[in-house]
Amino acid sequence: MKYKRLIVFSLMIVLLVIICLCFPKKVNNKIQKGKKEDSKTYKKEELSDSRETEEISISDIKFIRVSEKEIGITWSDQKNPYVDTYYLMRRKPNEDEWKQVGQLQSDHNMQDRELILTDILEEDTVQQYEYRIDVSVTNTKKYKPVEGKSIYASNLLVCIDPGHFSGKNKIVDEDGSSYSEGDATLILAKNLEEKLRLNYGVTCILTRTTGDITLGGYTNNNLDEGHISLRGSYAQKSDLFLSLHTNANQDNANGYATDEQPVSINKTLVFVNKVAYEDKQMLYLANTIGSYLTKVNYDMQVSESDEFQSIETKEEAKSWSDEYNDQLNVPGTVCVRWGEHGDYYGVLRGAAMVNVPGLIIEHGFHTIPEVRKLALTGELLEKWAEADANGIAEGYELMKKEGD
């Protein structure tokens, strides 16, 4: 009997040990399973959350120079339903810190409108800033504000005069190709406008945007002769006036046919008007434009010299003459040509009359066949515009916005 009890007791202990060993495992399993399920649900929630969180940023911004002391930043109302407040952020192109300079409450409606925030500048001196629109959102669980694209904008206003009009100063070559100074200058002006706007945030107005020109009731020929000063005075309230041209020489200069001049006649001339002549910064700007253009002409192999004779003082400006214009193997420089009433050239006199510094830029001689050929491909006009833009930017110490 005693022996039997011992067996039963031993069996009970073994059973207990088995239960003890197994049961906690089951409990643990349950806990672990629960944990796994929990983390699964959590991850699911996380996933569905990020799926629902929409990033909100304003990247379609543009600038408008409202006045010499106001720069407007505009964008579409496409994100309006999700935005609570828009913030206009500003910094100087070389600064790290952004500063909030305006804010706009959203009405949450989307009606294809342009929204605008205007930065009021402290001074009307030429300034350049980088701008961005930041937002706060209506529902932070659903929407996440992220940084949008920034742009450069300046209060600088440049008046560009594409010299002459369509078809003026035309040369038809034997191969049938036809170059007209009045057509080339329009392409050049449009290229320059785009580069100044996109790269530097500079606003331009043009005396003409088509082949024809109409100002003050006059058109084409009238605005190339008797009433040409109207082109210059159109620059009223601008910071700078530029009349874009390609140069020519006297008939059969240097013993070559008029339109068959050698590359060695090529040089860049930048004429300054009375107002620019008295302004050191404008003389510097004339130097930088001339230097960049000379480099382009040399690099494109339509000039034999890479030297532009920069000037330090106004007295060093060259009095222009036909002899200098036609001379072979001489560098280009900053020129003046005075007449009875100040500036000889009506276009520069017009700008001077409204107290605007003005330049005539003679980019290169279209009487050189190689220049005409390269201009007609568009390549030279593109490079000239880039040189003009870079020269202006350097003259005003503007930074270039790199693509992002």
From the CB of 105, what's the least distance to Zn ion, in Å? 53
Q: Which residue has 């833009």 as its token pair?
A: 389
Kindly tell me which of 79 and 363 has the beta carbon lying closer to Zn ion: 363
Q: What Cα–Cα distance (Å) separates residue 15 from each residue in 7, 23, 25, 396? A: 12, 12, 16, 95
Site for Zn ion in 351-370 (CB under 5 A): none
Kindly tell me which of 163 and 232 has the beta carbon lying closer to Zn ion: 163
User: In this structure, are residues 354 and 259 in contact, taking their beta carbons and an 8 Å threshold?
Assistant: no
Per rule CB under 5 A, count of chain residues that contact Zn ion = 2
Kindly tell me which of 203 and 273 has the beta carbon lying closer to Zn ion: 273
In this chain, which stretch among 219-227, 242-250, 298-306, 322-330 interacts with Zn ion, using CB under 5 A? 242-250
From the CB of 335, what's the least distance to Zn ion, in Å? 14
Q: How far apart are CA 262 and CA 358, in angstroms?
A: 30
In this chain, which stretch among 8-16, 37-45, 157-165, 252-260 interacts with Zn ion, using CB under 5 A? 157-165
Kindly tell me which of 231 and 245 has the beta carbon lying closer to Zn ion: 245
User: In this structure, are residues 304 and 330 in contact, taking their beta carbons and an 8 Å threshold?
Assistant: no
Kindly tell me which of 65 and 245 has the beta carbon lying closer to Zn ion: 245
| Residue 303 CB contacts under 8 Å (≥ 6 apart), including other chains | 263, 266, 267, 294, 297, 364
**Strands 178-180 and 170-172, bridge-based pairing:** antiparallel
In this chain, which stretch among 171-179, 238-246, 305-313, 330-338 interacts with Zn ion, using CB under 5 A? 238-246
Is there binding between residue 79 and Zn ion (CB under 5 A)? no
In this chain, which stretch among 155-163, 202-210, 227-235, 382-390 interacts with Zn ion, using CB under 5 A? 155-163
From the CB of 57, what's the least distance to Zn ion, in Å? 47
From the CB of 224, what's the least distance to Zn ion, in Å? 9
Is there binding between residue 90 and Zn ion (CB under 5 A)? no
In this chain, which stretch among 38-46, 243-251, 278-286, 334-342 interacts with Zn ion, using CB under 5 A? 243-251
Kindly tell me which of 89 and 361 has the beta carbon lying closer to Zn ion: 361
From the CB of 314, what's the least distance to Zn ion, in Å? 24
From the CB of 319, what's the least distance to Zn ion, in Å? 19
Kindly tell me which of 68 and 161 has the beta carbon lying closer to Zn ion: 161
Nearest partner of 224 among 157, 286, 167, judged by Cα: 167
From the CB of 87, what's the least distance to Zn ion, in Å? 48
Kindly tell me which of 163 and 357 has the beta carbon lying closer to Zn ion: 163
From the CB of 248, what's the least distance to Zn ion, in Å? 7
From the CB of 364, what's the least distance to Zn ion, in Å? 12
Is there binding between residue 245 and Zn ion (CB under 5 A)? yes
From the CB of 164, what's the least distance to Zn ion, in Å? 6
In this chain, which stretch among 5-13, 82-90, 142-150, 163-171 interacts with Zn ion, using CB under 5 A? 163-171
* List 72, 163, 290, 395, residue binding Zn ion (CB under 5 A): 163
Two tokens, residue 11:
């069996």
In this chain, which stretch among 43-51, 100-108, 159-167, 346-354 interacts with Zn ion, using CB under 5 A? 159-167
Two tokens, residue 397:
């110490």
The site for Zn ion (CB under 5 A) is made up of: 163, 245
